[in-house]
Amino acid sequence: MIGVIADDYTGAAEIAGIGLRFGLRVAYQVAVEPVESVDLLVIATDTRTLPADAAGAESEALTLKLARLGPEIIYKKTDSAFRGNVLAEVEPMLRALNLSKTLLLPANPGLGRTIGDGHYFLNGVRLDKTEFFKDPDYRHRTSEVLGMLGESEGTATHYLRLEDAVLAPGVNVGETLQEADLARWVELMDESTLPAGGAEFFDHILRARGHRAIRLGNRFEEGPGKILYVCGSASQYSHAAIERAKAGGATICEIPEELYSGRGNRSLALQKWAEQILGRLNEENTVAVAINRPLKSEAVAPKKLARDIAEVVERVLHGSKGVAALRIEGGATFSAVAHRLGFKTFFPTREYATGVVGMRVGGPGGLSVTVKPGSYPWPKGSWFAQFEGGDSRKER
């Protein structure tokens, strides 16, 4: 078994999708629990959004629990652009596993995300010169990779080119200009190395271990029964997709002003919102729940909105026995919904596109849940995709 600890929920889903692509039996968990007959166990966490000390403590605890299950290798999935607490999470994992060094390859050359000359580039442009720099979750003020990674008194950090050829004790960030570089870096790892980084690095680790990719993507089909889309992302793509769907006549139940502003009776507002959604589900097969507003600048506001949307989803599922599937957009939203509903183990079944993964809660017969990152498009065949371009027919 291969074990993976991811620092957010959509990153974990992306890794799970890669496992399916290689024909592996995959389990996706939000807490480490024994599970039988799986080749890949992916642990999803929210550590990217935590303070550094808390993120490190959780990473260490999860690593120790995962190690007790006896995985052949543990991989640390990080954000591809160093968002979050990368160094603070890797350090305690090294201690827990009694390893001396990390090979950190966050770059995804296939998506135009490369590392060269000590800097991070997006489609050939230094990251601090791109729109990415305006991302509220982007905490750095530089594109220099060791500056983005930060410093630690106890762990050395290094930037290495392939010609350097030797991994040093501590955290090694490898220059990655093209996909072939990833395969060459994998060859430099040994048993004292913790591999960490992005999805494409993990893909090449599987290849080096003898696994062969079967397919990328499956046709998306909505299937029978009522379907609830849950859109908690604040990305530009999400906003544009919701507005196109509204213009095409889709039913979008947006968060009430009382909940968004935090003024008024929260319980009553949640009740009315749930009743609105349930009423529309009685009339239609597919309904979307959305925030569709900018996330507030206060640190607690996005988490509060995620909790509100998770609670309304819980009320809707309890009030309507006909909901067969959830389609969840955004890692924070997925996390909030999973915690609210007490979902701990999912079994991924389909990878529809990179990062877009279908799962069953607890196994066959469980609720169908599809998750995707907020900035990724909904795949063709999905309800939202019909509103792309000029085709704005409403599905009933």
Backbone φ and ψ for 27, nearest 5 degrees, come out as -125, 140
* Architecture of the domain whose range is 226-387: 3-Layer(aba) Sandwich (3.40)
Instruction: Supply φ then ψ for residue 179, to 5 degrees.
Output: -60, -35
Average pLDDT, the chain: 91
Greatest distance between any 2 Cα atoms in the chain? 64
Taken in order 255, 256, 261, 262, the sign of the CA dihedral is negative
122-144 b/e (C-beta count within 10 Å ≥ 16 → b):
beeeebbebebeeeeebebeebb
Token representation of residue 313: 């989803």
pLDDT per position as a tens digit, 53-85: 999 999 999 999 999 999 999 999 999 989 999
pLDDT surpasses 50 at 337: yes
* pLDDT at 396 > cutoff 50: no
Residue range 133-142: average pLDDT? Answer: 71
In whole angstroms, how large is the CA radius of gyration of the chain?
21
Task: Read off the pTM.
Answer: 0.91
The two structure tokens encoding residue 125: 């442009």
Q: How many CB atoms lie within 10 A of CB 36?
A: 6
| pLDDT, average across residues 274-301 | 85
Nearest to 149 by CA among 57, 86, 242, 77: 86
pLDDT at res. 47: 95
Q: Do domains 2-208 and 226-387 have the same CATH topology?
A: no
Domain boundaries along the sequence of the chain = 2-208, 226-387
Residue 236 has pLDDT above 90, yes or no: no
Closest CA to 246 of 257, 226, 224, 231: 231
- Between 139 and 327, whose confidence is greater? 327
Q: Is the pLDDT of residue 129 over 70?
A: yes
Superfamily of segment(s) 2-208: Putative sugar-binding, N-terminal domain (3.40.50.10840)
Region 335-348: what's the mean pLDDT? Answer: 95
User: How much of the chain exceeds pLDDT 70, in percent?
Assistant: 95
**What pLDDT is attached to residue 118?**
96
pLDDT at 50 exceeding the cut of 80: yes
At which residue do the structure tokens 């060859």 appear? 187
- Mean pLDDT value of segment 283-310: 84
Averaged pLDDT for residues 282-290: 94
Q: Which residues on neighbouring strands pair with residue 345, listed in sequence order?
A: 29
